[in-house]
A = this chain, B = another copy of it.
Amino acid sequence: MGEHKVHIDQLSRDELESQLSTLQEEYRRLGAMNLSLDLTRGKPGQEQVALSDALDGILGGDYRSADGVDVRNYGGLEGLTEARQLFGEVLGAPVAETLVGGNSSLTLMYHVIDFALSEGLRGPASAWGNSDTVKFICPCPGYDRHFSICEHLGIEMITVPMLDSGPDMDVVESLVAQDERIKGMWCVPRFSNPTGCVYSDSTVDRVARLGLDSTAHFIVMWDNAYCVHNLYDDAPALASIRERAVQHGTADNIFQFGSTSKVTFAGAGVAFLASSEANLAALKAHLAFQTIGPDKVNQLRHVRFLQDQATLAAHMARHAERIRPRFECVLATLAKGLDGTGMGSWLAPRGGYFISFDARPGLAREIVHLASDIGVKLTPAGATFPYGKDPQDSNIRLSPTFPALADVQACAEAFVICVKLASVRQRLKKADAR
């Protein structure tokens, strides 16, 4: 596939026709292979979850936390102290500002927004729901489950472009300054889902200043889902949003989230949240109506297993060993097949779970459809935008962690063929239309 290195816009009609016939042949060949491959979701692979198999049984009959709590019994809405310490450190927050919950950070995020909307972080008068319209800033491409929460709760979403340094903060600041109905913003600040970028220090500082002069009870949903998910030792660090917020006096505006879903067991990890003590107190009063408290046994398992930041980092290095070949396989296949062709652009993330691919505008849906028809499932086009609608119909999220390496290779090669086929067809159609 290394042969077609001429930019698509430089190709003559004959060259396009010739490529089309080759690509159709390759596509038919792939179709005959009856592939059944899946690159849809950011799921850890079987080898990855097996890295934490020691979790079950790690307590060895000792069910007491370091501070003497019998973790088998009821009690403790904010989680075990030692778990709050360990995971607070992950988010750069002290114990008193950290809550450790159940197995899903999504649940914690939903609680925060639901609470701010219907009850108010500072009492009923502060409830966003008192206004007819509530808006949220959604840097795009982004994470579909963030957008689903907003859609489900009737929050209007405003998209803002992602740059290599994070969201375009000029746009964000101007929006927030103009419209007090904007109540918050989603962020995946390190190894952003899906672009893989890490917010620059300046971006972190500017995010921490949002809502500084506003009475809108603006909040930042800082979903640091991939905070310890380096693929390379030189992966860029992320500045502390908490430190900046404390400096700017905006600590009440920041809600940080994380989980061990992609550290230990995807479905059976622990999720955590860090915010100001005032926010935590308000949130706990809300949670008390609907839960008896989190699973402290599983929290203790996680503390015994992950121990401290050094042990956690060593564990994450073992994940990286398994993920890296998959990422490098996809990136090498994209480079080999598409570099210089103008048929798409992508970044090479230094961590996280995704590779974000931008096809020529108007082609994402078709590419996903072409792939699906030959047994290669990709994340639905549009999923990285609010309401599932990518205005450019261009972005496709690739998630190479789950399949076996050979399958990732097969997926990537099939993907390249689909991208080329769609691109050449589009060019020919445009040529015909002239």
Contacts and interface: CB of A to CB of B under 8 A. Distances in A.
Interface of A: 41, 43-44, 46, 49-50, 52-53, 56-61, 63, 70-76, 102-104, 106-107, 110-111, 148-149, 152, 261, 265-268, 288-298, 301
Nearest to A288: B148
A292 B148 contact: no
A74 B295 contact: no
Most B CB within 10 A of own CB, among A46, A57, A148:
A57
Contacts of A52: 72
A312 to B, nearest CB: 18
Contact of A110 (B58, B76, B107, B289): B289
A103 B267 contact: no
A357 B107 CA distance: 39
B61 A59 contact: no
Contact of A289 (B46, B58, B76, B148): B148
Contacts of A267: 71-76, 292-297
A289 B59 contact: no
6 contacts: A49-B72, A73-B266, A102-B103, A103-B292, A110-B291, A267-B297
Given A56-B56, A56-B58, A57-B58, 4 more contacts: A49-B70, A75-B267, A111-B290, A152-B289
A266 B295 CA distance: 9
Contacts of A298: 268, 295, 298
A143 to B, nearest CB: 12
A411 B52 CA distance: 46
A374 to B, nearest CB: 25
Contacts of A111: 290
Nearest to A150: B289
Contacts of A265: 72-73, 297
A57 B70 CA distance: 18
Contact of A41 (B44, B59, B74): B74
Most B CB within 10 A of own CB, among A102, A111, A268:
A268
Contact of A46 (B43, B57, B61, B70): B70
Contact of A49 (B43, B73, B103, B107): B73
A59 B57 CA distance: 8
Contact of A103 (B46, B58, B294): B294
A56 B268 CA distance: 14
Contact of A295 (B102, B148, B149): B102
For the complex of A and B, list the 9 residue pairs with the smallest distance between their C-beta atoms, beginning with the closest: A57-B57, A268-B297, A110-B290, A49-B72, A72-B265, A268-B295, A152-B289, A74-B266, A56-B59
A290 B292 CA distance: 18
A292 B56 contact: no
Contacts of A70: 46, 49
A257 to B, nearest CB: 13
Contact of A71 (B72, B104, B268): B268
Contacts of A63: 49, 53, 56
Contacts of A290: 104, 106-107, 110-111, 149
Given A149-B290, A295-B298, A268 B110 contact: no
B266 A72 contact: yes
A160 B293 CA distance: 30
Contacts of A266: 72-74, 292
Nearest to A56: B59
A149 B110 CA distance: 18
